[in-house]
Structure 1
């Protein structure tokens, strides 16, 4: 039997991406929870370039970067396809996944968790990015159409984590009035049976981020 280990953090959206793919394919695996402040020798050896989670170790061979890992899982194991088979649709899924990872997530992270001028600038840029996503999702349930897929999983932090962070911070600035199609997609994602049962604890995530905001606001 193939030995599959996943080095990750239980509340990480990037770890969750990989877990979702493994569970969708029905692949058994061992989750090895990492301490990102005290990285294990196994993590440093398995991902010597970026030194980050997640890392999938399949029969002793490490694969790094969550979306690369998902594509590897899709190609390696039997089960429902994650990426489209059609070359054009596959290319489009890759495009949006890259846009989400390279542009949206870093900017939204700064907008939600940054401070001062950097945060305000990020919020402005975030509004423009959300307009792009809102337009792309017009008349669509998911990025790929009617079925959840590769690009939607790339956007998992936007769908689930982002709303919880907003709530924990006490400031809600992504609304259905401003971004109706994006918010409808987010609701579809979080209520999708393929996703819902594999999401981490909402209460645990809320407590984690609420504590983070309280710590940041406490007098130094």
Structure 2
């Protein structure tokens, strides 16, 4: 029988967004039923303006009438609300360390890698992106996943690295996350995208490639 939590869960998101994917993936891993609503940024829905009036961005989780923005805030809320398959360690130190890497990912690593992906090969941006990937690889510390033998919250937060980067670097003709440069992190990315739940949840690669290819062309045209 479905729990009361599962009956009133909605997600406002964007299909191509790795941040929306964090939320969807977490719900899938927890086995939580939800309704998904795709947002059009050119014509934002009344719900988006109502439930995230500060940033007016996705993702937004609406649970029992209460709303939460920001993907990491949402993911931690889901983990605390549906306690099966915990995504954060129970040990206080390990939990705090995972939270440190969650913050480091969003504050330092993901922005650097994103900038490198759209850098047109500029040396400084690529160098900073590679340095960030090096930091992330060292955080694996010989483990299969950042969460150990199973997917954890840090793995979910790093899904952009695990899937989106491969597509973006191909579009831009870059070599960022490769097996030669980062063998352990590359192996993690392959384990991650081939995890059964994650594999069925990720946006189709060809569709995502076309979306970002069009975005890249549009950006280049606007700066020509």
- Normalising by structure 1, we get a TM-score of 0.91
Corresponding residue of 1:208:
211
Distance in 2, Cα, partners of 1:174 & 1:160: 10
Structure 1 position 37 matched with structure 2 position 42:
yes
Q: Distance in 1 between matches of 2:168 and 2:191?
A: 19
Match of 1:182 in 2: 185
User: Is 2:105–2:158's contact at 8 Å kept on the other side of the alignment?
Assistant: yes
Q: Report if aligned partners of 1:107, 1:126 keep a CA contact under 8 Å in 2.
A: yes
- What's the counterpart of residue 142 of structure 1? 145
Aligned residue-pair number? 218
Structure 1: runs of 5+ lacking an equivalent: none
The offset of 1:78, in angstroms, is 4.5
* SS of alignment partner, residue 85 of structure 2: coil
Displacement after TM superposition at 1:61 (Å): 0.7
SS in 1 for 2:80: helix
2:81 equivalent in structure 1: 76
Residue 157 of structure 1 corresponds to 160
The CA deviation at 1:211 is 1.8
Once the two structures are superposed, what CA deviation does each residue of 1:56-107 show, in whole Å capped at 9, x if it has no partner? 0111110111111111111112431111222111111111111111111111
Residues 24, 79 of structure 1: 8 Å contact kept = no
1:77, 1:128 → 2: CA distance? 36
Q: Which structure 2 residues correspond to residues 1-150 of structure 1 after superposition, within 5 A? A: 1=4, 2-114=7-119, 119-150=122-153
Runs (5+) with no aligned partner, structure 2: none
TM-score relative to the length of structure 2: 0.90
